[in-house]
Amino acid sequence: MHVLVTGAAGLIGSGVAARLREDHDVTGLDLVAGEQVQVIGDCFDVADWRHRAGKIDAVVHVAALHAPHVGQRSEADFRQANVKATSRLLDFAVGAGACSFVLTSTTSLYGHALMPSGGAVWIDEQLQPQPRDIYDETKLLAEELVASASNALNVTSLRMSRCFPEPADVMAWYRLHRGIDRRDVAEAHALALSRKGPAATYVISAATPFHRDDCGDLSLDAPSAIERRCPGLIARTAQQGWMPPNSIDRVYDASLAARELGFAPRFGIEACLAADWDPLPSA
Ligand SMILES: NC(=O)c1ccc[n+]([C@@H]2O[C@H](COP(=O)([O-])OP(=O)(O)OC[C@H]3O[C@@H](n4cnc5c(N)ncnc54)[C@H](O)[C@@H]3O)[C@@H](O)[C@H]2O)c1
């Protein structure tokens, strides 16, 4: 397939574009240049770049304004970049006769629902999003637009968890409950691209060892819950100087993606202990 990947100069888009090149022809689009970018342009201004992109069979829409831009960019900018550009891209994909559209979405859109009340929050696709800022609001609107195109395209939204470069111990512990390696994000996009069927939305995060009935313990005494589910892990991480969190406020559950997409994340806390880190993006 010939796949258009938007946001291909960014952290996630560059990883997604590089992974998809293993199986597909990929054209990377971004406002700025990057190793994975072939077309420089704004997703919103389709007429400016559509002829340079060529015949497209699928779109993977990663580009967005996101959490770090809240407070720095106007609400109008968020609506333009995240909602109106998604609408334009959907029209473009349908008009081009594409078969699939994958949206990179975010667990951030659960918003206020992420606030614990009497235990850690278990987050899966059944939990109702409660956007708390313009980023959450516009990503949810983008998901709704994508779902509404399901009569013309195979559409999938991937609500990915946290994937920023952070201190090693922070990233490692997050992999138990609220973080993901960029290589697993890229693999989820590759799986979503070949999915067929009604519109679907998936939480995408590293595999968690926890169960829903751990939520009370996770909030009150996370080390006990960690030791119960991952015996010996705290001792092994101590050798790296990594101290476990005292309390865990949320758990992202990607089991629906595992069942329906075949998503099998490989880079959890054990990969971190083995120093198997994602190389920094080249963009
Ligand atoms: N990084 C994370 O932890 C994380 C977590 C959840 C969801 N996400 C989602 O992943 C996606 C990418 O995030 P990222 O971390 O790679 O951000 P990023 O800022 O590194 O990359 C975004 C890229 O999109 C480009 N872009 C923005 N607006 C554009 C437009 N109108 N036209 C063309 N290109 C445009 C930017 O130039 C940039 O290169 C976003 O949709 C975000 O919601 C990221």
* pTM exceeds 0.85: yes
Please provide the average confidence, as pLDDT, over all residues in the chain.
96
Atom of ligand 1 nearest to the CA of 8: 39
Ligand 1 binding pocket (C-beta < 6 A) is 6-7, 9-13, 29-32, 42-44, 62-64, 66, 81, 85, 104, 106, 139, 160, 162-164
Structure tokens at 23: 């199986």
Residue 281, pLDDT above cutoff 90? no
Q: How far apart are CA 155 and CA 103, in angstroms?
A: 8
* CA 6 to ligand 1 center in whole angstroms: 9
Residue 118: the pLDDT is 87
Are the C-beta atoms of residues 144 and 91 closer than 8 Å to each other?
Answer: no
pLDDT tens per residue across span 141-158: 999 999 999 999 999 999
How many angstroms from the chain centroid is the CA of residue 254?
Answer: 11
Which residue bears the tokens 């992974």? 19
Helix, coil or strand: residue 113: helix
* pLDDT at position 283 over 50: no
DSSP code string of 155-205 = EEEEEE-B-----HHHHHHHTTTTB--HHHHHHHHHHHHT--SS-EEEEE-
| Chain segment 202-260, per-residue pLDDT in tens | 999 999 999 999 999 999 999 999 999 999 999 999 999 999 999 999 999 999 999 99
Task: Identify the band that residue 280 occupies on the pLDDT scale cut at 50, 70 and 90.
Answer: low
Helix 85-95 to helix 46-53 angle (10° resolution) is 40
| All domains in the chain, ordered by first residue | 2-167+180-208+251-266 (3.40.50.720)
- Per residue in 4-43, pLDDT (tens digit) is 999 999 999 999 999 999 999 999 999 999 999 999 999 9
Ligand 1: nearest atom to the Cα of 69: 19
Report pLDDT digits (tens) over 32-89.
999 999 999 999 999 999 999 999 999 999 999 999 999 999 999 999 999 999 999 9
